[in-house]
Amino acid sequence: MLVPDLPVRTERLDLRAFTPADLPALHSYRSRADVTRYLLFAAEDEATTRATLATKCRRTALRAEGDVLCLAVVVRRTGTLVGDVVLTWTSAAHRQGEIGYVFHPDHAGRGYATEAARAMLRLGFDELDLHRIVGRLDARNTASARLLQRLGMRREAHLRENECVKGEWADEAVYALLAREWRALPR
């Protein structure tokens, strides 16, 4: 079980629970087709983002297998919400998890996604005691693949046309990191 002490603080970021006041910031990137291009969902209208936000507001702990921890990523210096990160507890018996992230492109190139995703790996490995964490992505999403590689994750699979996403067959890439590899990474 993991009920993190929030906010989770990194060098420059605060990872905190979502609140209803986050609707404009969340919608500013979830409504963009360029952001959702490689995701399972399409660009959202405001009503859909409102429903998404209500779900995100409830996802603040990992109490059982299948739970999802979803945190807003805020730049501490400015208070700007720049994206969100998730950690899913996929298997208690096998101590497995999965990370994910979505960031506003206006804040790309500053290392925020890498910094926030690294914090989620730390929660998964150091606090939840997971053995293995994966990141799954549309294989065309080379920017996301580079982020996972920066985190020390290795590409384990390339699944050909395994999902029909938004009416087209898409390849999926799977990256993973083991706890012992996490501990061996330079800090």
Give tens-digit pLDDT for 24-46: 999 999 999 999 999 999 999 99
Rounded CA Rg of the chain:
16
d(CA 185, CA 171): 29
Domain residues of the chain, as ranges?
Answer: 8-184
Average pLDDT score over residue span 121-131: 97
The strand pair at 96-103 and 132-138 is best described as parallel
Give the largest Cα separation in the chain, rounded.
Answer: 44
Fold topology of 8-184? Aminopeptidase (3.40.630)
In terms of pTM, does the model score above 0.85?
Answer: yes
pLDDT tens digits for 63-94? 999 999 999 999 999 999 999 999 999 999 99
